[in-house]
Amino acid sequence: MTAPALVLGIESSCDELAAAVVRDGSEILASRVREQVDVHAPYGGVVPELASRDHVRGVSAVAEAALAQAGVTPESLSAVAATAGPGLVGSLLVGLSFGKALAFRLGVPFVGVHHLEGHLISAELADARLVPPYVGLVVSGGHTALYRVDSRAARAVLLGQTRDDAVGEAFDKVAKLLGLPYPGGPALSRVAGSGDPAAVAFPRPLAGEPGYDFSYSGLKTAVLREVERRRPLGEQDVADLAASFEAAAIDVLVARARRALRDEGIGRLAVVGGVAANRRLRERMAEAAKADGFLAVFPPREFCTDNAVMVAAAGARMLASGVRHALDLEAFSRRPLGSAVPEPSR
Ligand code: KG4
Ligand code: ZN
């Protein structure tokens, strides 16, 4: 089956609300993202109820803006896709309900998309050489996991994941410890640029252990101890601690990805999710790819963080393979890929 002509995608799983229009499964006609930095900045982290309330205020305007940018009317849409999970349920329900209501009104098919399938599809869209089998490293505020993708991203097999904090969460928490502005990950990465990554030899959690799991809470605690030891922190302390933390956090990601590729005998890697926007992760993984001879694909930065292009494109693929979801599809807060959104239900 061919991809449906025009799919509107909606993403609202956390603090970003996004809408996009994709033609024929891969051509991006519009992509809009409404961020909530100002809403959550006073609290130093995402407040779920405030996120969903802001989504309620913004959802129709963001969808309209995407349609206007694409130059298409709602009536010309072939289908609607929305993220069904994982994520904050209150946030998810806004985009999901809006998407279902629009599909109902237009009488077109609806599909609910797994957020992580969307992230992986961002990499597939970025480089046509990224075809299964490949290894997917998902690194975001909510996830740190390695998957093996044999056929479709939706059927990916989990190889390992974090036992505690996600790597993006660790970036955000360490940024807060260092007194950096919200959102922490990008701010930490910026100041790390003027620090010495070898200033403090932070632990590389689980480095000596077999397998593909991750752990970031111990690293975060090690940074806290060093912060307390050095207080009051000068500008150079902050830069050095940021650079040393970043080096440790990234080392583990690169080492685990290399191991998975080697053990699985696979030569292609996708690195996706918000932390894939990190410059030093991109550099270090590119060095490893050159040394070991694998293909490392990172989506363009704007499609690393949450967006709706990935939802529309993933939805288009599901629709092309005959998947439709009934309008009673529920949101889910947690579910690994592979046991993805129920399919098919027509
Ligand atoms: O994929 P995403 O937008 O949302 C989730 O699904 O979680 O990822 C957001 C996460 C945040 O933790 C943010 O701090 C992190 O990605 N992030 C970064 C960078 N840009 C975003 N972490 C490190 N370096 C960056 N440049
Ligand atoms: Zn995400």
Instruction: Note whether 275 and 328 are same-domain residues.
Output: no
Instruction: Note whether 278 and 162 are same-domain residues.
Output: yes
Q: Domain for residue 173, yes or no?
A: yes
Q: Domain for residue 109, yes or no?
A: yes
75 is in which domain, residue-wise?
6-119+304-339
Atom of ligand 1 nearest to the CA of 166: 12
- Is any ligand 1 atom within 6 A of the Cβ of residue 186? yes
Q: Domain for residue 1, yes or no?
A: no
The H or E element that residue 308 is part of is none
Q: Domain for residue 229, yes or no?
A: yes
What total of structural domains would you count in the chain?
Answer: 2
Q: Which tens digit of pLDDT belongs to each residue from 127-152?
A: 999 999 999 999 999 999 999 999 99
Is the pLDDT score of 346 beyond 50?
no
Instruction: Note whether 203 and 290 are same-domain residues.
Output: yes
Q: Domain for residue 31, yes or no?
A: yes
How far is it, in rounded angstroms, from Cα 95 to Cα 63? 10
Q: Domain for residue 125, yes or no?
A: no
Instruction: Note whether 231 and 329 are same-domain residues.
Output: no
Is the pLDDT score of 255 beyond 70?
yes
Site to substitute for ligand 1 among 33, 40, 140, most atoms within 8 A of C-beta: 140
Dihedral angle, C-alpha 160, 163, 168, 173, nearest 10 ° = -170
Q: Domain for residue 84, yes or no?
A: yes
Instruction: Note whether 80 and 153 are same-domain residues.
Output: no
Instruction: Note whether 197 and 268 are same-domain residues.
Output: yes
For residue 242 the two structure tokens come to: 């940021």
- Is any ligand 1 atom within 6 A of the Cβ of residue 85? no
Site to substitute for ligand 1 among 35, 162, 171, 182, most atoms within 8 A of C-beta: 171
Q: Give the pLDDT score at 342.
A: 60
Q: Which tens digit of pLDDT belongs to each residue from 150-204?
A: 999 999 999 999 999 999 999 999 999 999 998 899 999 999 999 999 999 999 9
Site to substitute for ligand 1 among 305, 310, 334, most atoms within 8 A of C-beta: 305
Instruction: Note whether 174 and 40 are same-domain residues.
Output: no
Take atom 8 of ligand 1 and give the residue whose Cα is closest. Answer: 274
Q: Which tens digit of pLDDT belongs to each residue from 38-93?
A: 999 999 889 999 999 999 999 999 999 999 999 999 999 999 999 999 999 999 99
Stretch 94-105: mean pLDDT: 98
Q: Which tens digit of pLDDT belongs to each residue from 320-335?
A: 999 999 999 999 999 9
- Is any ligand 1 atom within 6 A of the Cβ of residue 184? yes
- Is any ligand 1 atom within 6 A of the Cβ of residue 242? no
Ligand nearest to the CA of 301: 1
The upper half-sphere exposure of residue 177, i.e. CA atoms within 13 Å in the direction of its Cβ, equals 25
Instruction: Note whether 194 and 316 are same-domain residues.
Output: no
Is the pLDDT score of 343 beyond 60?
no
CATH of the domain at 165: 3.30.420.40
* pTM of the model as a whole: 0.95
Question: DSSP letters of 156-175?
Answer: PEEEEEBSS--HHHHHHHHH
Instruction: Note whether 186 and 323 are same-domain residues.
Output: no
